[in-house]
Structure 1
Amino acid sequence: MADEPTAKTSTALLVLGCPQVPVQTGIALYLINRLKKAGLTPVVAGNKAANTLLVVSDPDRHYVGEVIDLDRAVGLISDKKRDFDRCFVFVHNDAGVTYAATMGAISGAKLYALVYGEHFEEQAKKIDFPCTVIAAKAVHNPLPLKKAIDEVAPWAA
């Protein structure tokens, strides 16, 4: 039998910022679960606090797989050493908008901006680059953002 090409696994990058808003960790775990069920391989890129919260929340790694430093991920993508099929940037402040714009500029991934927090409408208005914006007022209760994500079903796109 001839060597058959192996099917490329679809990948998704989750870009986490400062975990100042409580829903970020829960929504990240939810999204990781949905992506895995859809056959995508999720990779988390965040700052030390965001990454640590995820790893501590899933100590047996049932959901969380590869976790890398956010600055390292940006470097790998900008140097064309790595890229992803989808990219989900968590946005609750100006830094999140900047990371989403950066990912849109350096990555070939289909880009999603998950906008949440007390001032989610203001942040969503700042996004003037191509991406799918998924926004909801979610600070402590993740259900409004979960509902908005479910309506878009980005794992099926």
Structure 2
Amino acid sequence: MKNKTLIINGSPRKNNNSSLVVREIEEFLKNLNKNYLVLKLNENKNIKEIINAFNNSSQLIWVVPEYNWSYPGVIKMLVEQIGVELLQEKFNIVISVSIGPSSRNALSSMANLLFSMNSITLTPGVEINNIRDCNPEYIQEHILPPIKNLFYFSRKVKE
């Protein structure tokens, strides 16, 4: 397993709010000189490319919008297409995004999905609510510490 980070933008919409968070994560990873790749679930990708991205990643950062009190169906479809085996023993963090006051249901539903596949998921995850009112500083303040923890635990387990 390679030491690459895969950022998954779980929104099926073209101009989605999750991309605001993804851009901040990308900037953070660039500053740390981390090797990363972004997978946007709103773009048509070859399934072999997607499987390759998961195979070459040891850390997964899921940026998940809340849709109907859960995560979007495109994420469930992705898991079924790539197979549970590709998610096992990967280090995950879930960042849920909402335009409303809470995205906790998406966060807990996504974490439960990952737990059920023997995937290592840092809890409690991160909620970014009222995303349209958030500035980059707010997003960084809430997502960067858990992402640092993701790298810390990933590194410690390998030692």
TM-score normalized with structure 1 length: 0.62
SS of the residue corresponding to residue 39 of structure 1 reads coil
Alpha-carbon displacement from aligned partner over 1:95-131 (angstroms, at most 9, x marks no partner): 2763579787513431111111134112123232141
Change (3 A) 1:21 1:33: same
Query: Structure 2 stretches of 5 or more lacking a match?
Result: 153-159
The corresponding residue for 1:76 is 52
SS of equivalent residue, structure 2 residue 63: strand
- Alignment length (residue pairs): 129
Task: Tell which structure's C-alpha radius of gyration is larger.
Answer: 1
Three-state SS of the structure 2 residue aligned to 1:69 is coil
CA contact (8 A) 1:15 1:87 kept: yes
The aligned counterpart of 1:90 is 63
> Which whole-Å CA distance do the structure 1 matches of 2:49 and 2:104 have between them?
28
Identify which range, 39-48 or 98-107, moves more after superposition: 98-107
Return the alpha-carbon distance in structure 1 between the equivalents of residues 139 and 33 of structure 2: 22
Tell me the distance in 2 between the aligned counterparts of 1:48 and 1:136.
Answer: 20
Q: Is 1:110 the equivalent of 2:91?
A: yes
Which residue of 24, 29, 38 corresponds with 2:32?
Answer: 38
The code of the aligned residue for 1:112 comes to I
Q: Structure 1's 105 and 42: CA in aligned 2 closer, same or farther, altered over 3 A? A: same
Q: String of CA shifts for 1:32-62, please: whole Å, max 9, x gaps.
A: 111121121121111355xxxxxxxxxxxxx
Q: Partners in 1 of 2:79 and 2:142 — Cα distance?
A: 18
Mapped contact 1:13–1:86 kept (Cα < 8 A) = yes
Give 1 or 2: higher helix fraction: 2
15-24 vs 125-134, which moves further: 15-24
User: Contact 1:86/1:110 (CA < 8 Å) preserved in 2?
Assistant: yes
Per the normalisation by structure 2, the TM-score is 0.61
Superposed CA RMSD in Å reads 3.5
Map 1:53-72 to 2 at 5 A: 69=45, 71-72=47-48
The 1:72–1:114 alpha-carbon spacing in structure 2 relative to 1, beyond 3 Å, is farther
SS of the aligned residue for 1:85 comes to strand
Partner deviation per Cα, 1:48-106 (whole Å, 9 max, x = no partner): 55xxxxxxxxxxxxxxxxxx93744443367xxx3212111111132276357978751
